[in-house]
């Protein structure tokens, strides 16, 4: 018990503390991952169905935690790129042009490890999704890249945000 506490103190004081998976710090870091993933940045930005709306928001949460602890990614179309301009706690209301996705932590991690894609996740109820389904269907490649990146930010999945 004593070693765990000492190790945790050393980790935090050394600056190596990981964000909690799907907290505001994680969302901010994930925004950077988004902006460095060509399939998200360029394919969505160039796609007419995604570009119809100048800004879309993705609201995410861990179903085994609390739906009140949602993070928001705001994606803005800039020069034919779908750029993440905000990652943090949900601060806006979801509109008909936005997306809501939630799954158990275990399922988010499985998708991040590329164990299965979005179609299987939704078909088997592992990923719940609300939003413009037509836009999502026409952007299945970038959507899969988004799910594949779920574990790209090193984070603590043992605690809820």
What is the predicted pLDDT for the residue at 14? 43
pLDDT at 6 over 50: no
CATH of the domain at 74: 3.30.1050.10
Residue 9 domain flag: no
Question: In sequence order, what are the residues at sequence separation of 6 or more whose Cβ sits closer than 8 angstroms to the Cβ of residue 142?
Answer: 39, 40, 43, 44, 47, 50, 82
- Report residue 50 as tokens: 């995604």
Task: Please say whether the beta carbons of 31 and 134 come within 8 A.
Answer: no
pLDDT for residue 46: 66
Q: Calculate mean pLDDT across residues 98-103.
A: 96
How high does pLDDT run on average in the chain? 86
For residues 81-107, give the mean pLDDT: 95
User: 158: which 2 tokens?
Assistant: 């043992």
pLDDT band at 2 (very low <50, low <70, confident <90, very high): very low
Is residue 93 included in any domain, yes or no?
yes
Buried b (16+ CB within 10 A) or exposed e, 41-72: bebbbebeebeebebbbbbbbbbebeeebbbb
pLDDT mean over 129-148: 88
96 in a domain, yes or no? yes
Q: Is the pLDDT of residue 100 over 80?
A: yes
Give domain status of residue 145, yes or no: yes
Q: What is the C-alpha to C-alpha distance for residues 106 and 126, in angstroms, rounded to an integer?
A: 9
Lowest mean pLDDT among 65-69, 70-74, 141-145: 141-145
**Domain assignment present for 7:** no
Cα–Cα distance for residue pair 134/72, rounded to 1 Å: 21
pLDDT of 31 above 60? yes
Domain count, the chain: 1
Range of the domain at 134: 20-150
Region label for 131, one of left (φ > 0), alpha (ψ between -120 and 50) or beta (otherwise): left
Q: Please report whether residue 1 resides in a domain.
A: no
The whole-number average pLDDT for the span 35-43 is 91
Q: What is the mean pLDDT of residues 124-133?
A: 91
Residue 133 maps to a domain: yes
Domain assignment present for 61? yes
């Amino acid at each position: 018990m004593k070693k765990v506490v000492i190790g945790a103190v050393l980790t935090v004081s050394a600056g190596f503390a990981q964000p909690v998976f799907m907290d505001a710090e994680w969302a901010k870091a994930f925004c950077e991952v988004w902006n460095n993933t060509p399939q998200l940045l360029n394919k969505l930005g160039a796609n007419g169905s995604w570009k119809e709306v100048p800004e879309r928001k993705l609201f995410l949460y861990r179903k085994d935690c609390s739906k009140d602890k949602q993070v928001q990614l705001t994606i803005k179309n800039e020069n034919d790129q779908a750029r993440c301009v905000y990652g943090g706690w949900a601060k806006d209301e979801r509109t008909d042009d936005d997306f809501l996705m939630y799954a158990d932590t275990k399922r988010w991690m499985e998708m991040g490890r590329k164990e299965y894609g979005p179609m299987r996740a939704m078909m088997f109820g592992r990923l719940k999704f609300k939003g413009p389904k037509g836009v999502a269907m026409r952007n299945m490649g970038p959507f899969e890249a988004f799910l594949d990146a779920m574990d790209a930010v090193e984070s603590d999945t043992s605690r809820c945000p």
